[in-house]
Structure 1
Amino acid sequence: MAVFRRDSLVTRQLLRLVLLHTAWEVGSGQVRYSVPEESKHGTFVGRLAQDLGLEVAELVSRMFRMVSSGRRDYFEVNLQSGVLFVNSRLDREELCGRNPLCAIDLEVIVDKPLRIFHVEVEIRDINDNAPVFPVNEKNLFILESRRPGSRFPLEGASDADIGTNSLLTYKLSLNDYFGVDLQKNNEQRKSLVLLLKEPLDREETSEHSLLLTATDGGKPELTGTVQLVITVLDANDNAPVFNQSVYEVRLLENAANGTLIIKLSATDLDEGINKDISYSFSNSVNRNLRNMFSLDPNTGEVRFKGELDFENISLYELQIEATDKSAFPLTGHCTLVVEVLDVNDNAPELAVTSLSLPVPEDAPPGTVVALISVSDRDSGDNGKVTCSIPPNLPFRLVSTFKNYHSLVLAEAVDRERVSEYKIVVTARDEGAPSLSASSSILVAISDVNDNAPAFPQPVYTVFVRENNAPGAHLLTVSAWDPDLRENAFVSYSVVERSVGEQPLSSYISVHSESGHIYALQPLDYEELQVLQFQVSARDAGLPSLCGNVTVQLFVLDANDNAPAVSPAGSVRGSPGPELVPLSAGAGHVVGKIRAVDADSGYNAWLRYEVQEPGAAGPFRVGVYSGEISTTRALEEADGPSLRLVILVKDHGEPSLSATATVILSLVESPQAVKWDSRPRGGSEGPLVDMNVSLMIAICSVSGLFVLVIVVYVGLRCHPGPEVMCGPGKATVVCASEVGSWPCSQRQSRDLCVGEVSAKNDLMVFNANFPHSAENKDKEKHQAMKPNLCGTVSEDILFFMGVLFCVNSDSLPLTLHLI
């Protein structure tokens, strides 16, 4: 029992190795089956799925399909069991004629991954055709003078089967005079003759009726018969004789109508009328052959008069008789074999058997796009076909099996560059001259999300005047994505960040579809001069891609702040009227109006004047300095006191103003000046000195700054790279509506100025960037200097390296390189 189990184990292992080897052979080569002809529908052919190494459960999911080579579907596969079975009647004679090998080629195609298997099903011949004679009854005329051993050609039977089933043997009914003999002319042709065994005697027997039977070699045997009626003739002893029994001629299939094929010649040893010969086709030559060939009865010339086609029939056999003209004519026989030579008269044929379209633009090289079959009805070199496609295309042809080719992707494709390809496949044979055929395949490229949205410019700059209405439209950004459908659908959003202590989303919003940017609240130039943020454009692909763009929002100043006048005490610091000594001469400075405007630029440029010039008496006020001084020496007639109303106006449109009331008391000794300020429209701001140098500084710096801006924008504005989602580095581009003091904010400070520097005014313009604590201390330190200074923005400062300052006393413009 142990020995038996060990032997069984060894047997199973050997069987497993054999099955693995067989599966490997099937996967790497061709699967062949064999089935007899005339098999009924449903006849089992083979376990195709198992032989190909495929799982039966995966046949449907892998889109199992079978393509036959140009014929109707003789076979079908059961997708539930993977069995190949006969689908329709198989007639080997109809499919292959006399060809010894009859097979149907099948292409099995599965996807995921795409694989192609080649299956060949051989159609085996069965003995289903009996031998058939051309006629049912054959009449022969034989002179009684013919000697024993004479031979008379007979038309043999034909059998549509092949091999052993078509091997014929002949048997003549029992008699004393005749027999049959089968002679081989060559390896392909055999001739059947009637053999005369004994001399004939017409007077004894004038007619013999014999039955000739042809039997094939099949199992079971099938037979065919013909009745031979032999009439014995008297007298004319010599029949015409051809100089050879078989004539072989070659003729091109494109031979012209009327072409002379051969001129036959037969001789008769008799004399007189028995020597005259007439040529004719044998009765065994059918009507079709008689319509294709003509025979001159007198000259024996055989001419072609029909249309030859090598692809239909490549060989013709004509039985020709030469008959003398005696009263009892004798006949000689020969066979004319016409071999038709092939010419290249058939162009190749192309057929696309399978398409895998469209092709994704990220498909890897080697992806199969289409399966193409080619054929040519010609033979030899005329039937050898090569396929090609135009160069400079990202595709190539790969020969797979026999006359099958695969169109595969040779290199990566880009739908945004070329969305479809029209590929002309050309098949050309090797004949002379060569013939060709072509077929067009339109290969569409499907889109994948491989392009991020891109903005037409890296930076958007917009200017908005302060105090805008909530919800006001600021600008529109637009990004373009070259992809298709959802891959090109762009939505917009703001990259969130903090602006001071508030989120960016409290200032602006972006419409997700249109890209419209809106202001959510009024902007105040005195609080925010430049708002820089990023807008992200994201497509709807999977995975999604996005691009960013920087938006610079410059807030323009509006004249919305009236000048604010700060009261100043007397020199002693005590409240009350300002005491002016009567000994003061002309030009004596009594005091100074101190006012500030929270606006900037022209809106913050202040002008001082007496509201009622006629009531000023011997006093005046400096137009831009605000200093109150005497115009002449004081007199007692000027009165003990004087009330001056000083009007402070800015240069905005419309102009805003405030008033300050100054009470002056004329005394023998100097006293402090009491200030009473009444603002007229506006709010209080920090104290800043102003003088005429502000106008000159604005004009000078404006021209220089515009030049710097033009150069800077030209250097900095260049297309930005394509980016993935995330905030990008902002680029600042400075400009101004009025051409001066751009990209800056006015920093208002309380300035402590002593009496020694009472004639100096100070206004500071700083760059519009966040400052560190160190920078703020530095600014406070600079604010104490009696100069009018301005600094360009940090980017401009890096580019130019210039700090400009203007002194209010001497009014020069000084440039400091840093």
Structure 2
Amino acid sequence: MGYIIGCYTFLRKYSDRTMKGQALLFIGLLSLGSVMGQASYTIPEEMAKGSLVGNIAQDLGLDTKRLASGKARLYTRDNDEYIKLNRERGVLLVKERIDREVLCRQTTPCALHFQIILENPMEFYSVTVGIIDINDNVPTFEETEIKFKISESTITGAKFVLERAVDLDVGINGVHSYELRPTDNFALKLQHNAEGNKNVEMVLKTPLDREKTEQISLVLTAVDGGEPQMSGTMLIVITVLDANDNAPVFTQPTHKATVYENSPKGTIVATVTASDADQGSNGKITYSITNTLENVRKVFKINRETGEVTLIGNIDFEDSQHFELNVRASDNGGLTDSSKLIVDLQDVNDNKPEINIMSKSNVISEDAKHNTVVTMINIEDKDSEENGIVQCFINENVPFVLKSSTNNFYSLLTDSDLDRDISSEYNITVTCSDEGVPSLSSSVTLT
């Protein structure tokens, strides 16, 4: 199931050493090296605790005795650990039940990333475990019943926007098709938008006659493509009215807006506008947001009368870089039009670099060779572009050097001969600064 992606030396010299700080390093006996490789596995979600993920010792070419002598352990930046290492067997096992929808929501592909750390000599390996979706969620509609008031004078071909069903599963296990029954007066129309989703509409195909039928009940069924198939339904109740022959029309099918991620609640994001050629109550338009994912409605609200969209929740560029709001304009006769509002978030430098100590040696022999690794560090800045670019350095006048590699990993290595008679301890401060304006920085003292 697993295979080795590659192996490369985790060293690249970084020469900027300009800050001073306090840290304590005892001199003892330990010889360290630095090796890094990669392994990848793929498992389905919802596997039972203790299930086998892969033979990591075999895939990395390691002896199980090396796992024990090197005190092999997993390192992850996340709070939750879903995978555990069995040193004796040299295998990775499922530690906690993995729910792909909780772990990744709608993001694909979904994967866990962590490192395996060994000591004496110090090594680490990167491991990726891809999580495959299974069909364990039913398509659901936000409302079990939706009501329309439609004039009997409505011409055939008129469209009525319906809410899409939501299925937390992804890919083929997500919503696959819709069905509308009965089909005497209305037909179902699906339109694929640029994002790959389906806009659901019902279209009037035969005229309505209030004198014959005052109320019509339809059932909209959403079916996923999983095995076995799952489905959800919504009842559509139509009350037939007299006279309203013009539907609202938005000024444009797609609206766009940009807002800073630290904007306060109450910020006006955009105003959407629709018009209706009818007069009086039939021409009065009300606006609503029809997104079924509740995170959108927790962040934005729309003024039913003016179409003004306002920020009501906190927005974080690091969580979501843009939002898509489905907006509906309805007149009093039940006719509707839909538009999309795309809100792009603009990043601000609001995250300091995070310094994570992957592994550290408190003692080292005075006869240690040059380039002996004493500490491994991982740096993470959640901001984007320049705000997330980080440079790290250590204080001067110490016989150590900080070297970097790709993916924000650093190693602290010996840079010259050590002499316990001259100095038995050292103070080392690692400082990391991003390139945002103003720049944010963090530091850590190695003891």
Q: TM-score, normalised by structure 1?
A: 0.48
Deviation at 1:41? 1.0
1:383 aligned partner: 388
Distance 1:290 1:86 in 2: 36
Out of 293, 307, 317, the position equivalent to 2:314 is 307
Structure 1 SS opposite 2:81: coil
Deviations 1:88-108 (A, max 9, x none): 111122122222122222212
Q: Is the 1:321–1:334 Cα contact (8 Å) retained in structure 2?
A: yes
Q: Is the CA contact 1:23–1:51 (under 8 Å) kept in the aligned structure 2?
A: no
Give structure 2 stretches of 5+ with no counterpart: 9-34
> What SS is found at the alignment partner of 2:379?
strand
Cα distance change of structure 1 residues 168 and 66 upon mapping to structure 2, 3 Å threshold = same
What residue in structure 2 maps to residue 370 of structure 1? 375
Verify: 1:416 aligned to 2:421, yes or no.
Answer: yes
1:239: Cα distance to partner? 2.5
Match of 2:141 among 133, 136, 141: 133
The structural deviation recorded for 1:224 is 1.7
1:222–1:433 CA distance, 2 compared to 1 (3 A) = farther
1:669-720 Cα offsets, whole Å, 9 max, x none, are xxxxxxxxxxxxxxxxxxxxxxxxxxxxxxxxxxxxxxxxxxxxxxxxxxxx
Larger Rg: 1
| Bigger mean CA deviation after superposition, 178-187 or 84-93 | 178-187
Distance 1:293 1:47, change over 3 A: closer
Q: Counterpart of 1:168 in structure 2: which amino acid?
A: H
Partner residue in 1 for 2:227: 219
Give the 3-state SS of the residue equivalent to 1:119 in structure 2: strand
2:161–2:336 contact (8 Å) kept in structure 1: no
Shift of the alpha carbon at 1:189?
Answer: 4.2
Between Structure 1 and Structure 2, how many residues are aligned? 419
* Contact 2:149/2:238 (8 A) holds in 1: yes
Give the equivalent residue in structure 2 for 1:252: 260
1:50 and 2:55 matched = no
| One-letter identity of the residue aligned with 1:385 | V
Percent pairwise identity: 42
Provide the C-alpha distance between the structure 2 equivalents of 1:363 and 1:79, rounded to a whole number of angstroms: 29
Tell me, yes or no, if the aligned pair for 1:279 and 1:320 is still in contact at 8 Å. no
Q: Aligned to 1:351, which of 352, 356, 361? A: 356
Partner SS, residue 428 of structure 2: strand
Distance 1:199 1:25 in 2: 70
* Distance of 1:365 and 1:355 partners within structure 2: 17
Query: Cα offset for 1:352?
Result: 1.0
The equivalent of 1:205 in structure 2 is 213
8 Å Cα contact 1:279-1:295 kept in structure 2: no
Distance in 2 between residues matched to 1:85 and 1:428, nearest whole Å: 38
Alignment partners' CA distance in 1, 2:300 and 2:177? 31
Letter in 1 for 2:108: P
Check conservation: 1:23, 1:52, Cα contact below 8 A: no
Cα 1:407–1:293 change in 2 (3 A) is same
Which SS does the other structure have where 1:393 is aligned?
coil
Q: Give the superposition deviation at 1:438.
A: 1.6
CA RMSD between the two structures: 2.7
Which of 190, 196, 210 lines up with 2:198 in the alignment?
190
Q: Give distance in 2, aligned partners of 1:41 and 1:293.
A: 40
What do the CA deviations read for 1:419-458 (whole angstroms, capped 9, x no partner)?
A: 322322222233333322222112xxxxxxxxxxxxxxxx
Q: Separation in 2 of the partners of 1:22 and 1:437?
A: 35
- Deviation string, structure 1 residues 206-260 (Cα, Å, up to 9, x no partner): 2221111111222222222211112222112222221123322222212244333
Q: Distance in 1 between matches of 2:227 and 2:243?
A: 48
Structure 1 position 153, deviation (Å): 1.0
Q: Structure 2-normalised TM-score? A: 0.85
Q: Aligned to 2:427, what secondary structure does the other structure show?
A: strand
Partner of 1:316: 323
Q: Matched residues in 2 for 1:24 and 1:372: separation?
A: 21
1:34 aligns with 2:42: yes
* Mapping for residues 269-348 of structure 1, pairs under 5 Å: 269-275=277-283, 277-282=284-289, 289=296, 292-324=299-331, 328=333, 330-348=335-353
**Is the contact made by 1:281 and 1:318 (CA closer than 8 Å) also made in structure 2?**
no
User: Which structure would you say has the larger RCO, counting Cα contacts within 8 Å and 6 or more residues apart?
Assistant: 2
Q: Is the contact between residue 318 and residue 336 of structure 1 (CA under 8 Å) also seen in structure 2? A: yes
Q: Following TM superposition, by how much is the alpha carbon of 1:190 offset from its aligned partner in structure 2, in angstroms? A: 3.2
| Equivalent residue letter for 1:387 | C
Q: Does 1:441 align with 2:446?
A: yes
Q: Would you say the 8 A contact 2:47–2:94 is kept in 1?
A: yes
Q: What residue is the counterpart of 1:112 in the other structure?
A: 120
2:24 matched residue in structure 1? none
CA distance in 2, matches of 1:286, 1:371: 41
Give the secondary structure class of the aligned counterpart of 1:334: strand
Distance 1:243 1:207, change over 3 A: same
Q: What is the CA-CA distance between 1:110 and the residue it aligns to? A: 2.1
SS in 2 for 1:432: coil
Q: Which amino acid aligns with 1:372?
A: I
Which residue of 243, 260, 266 maps to 1:235? 243
Bigger proportion of residues as helix: 1
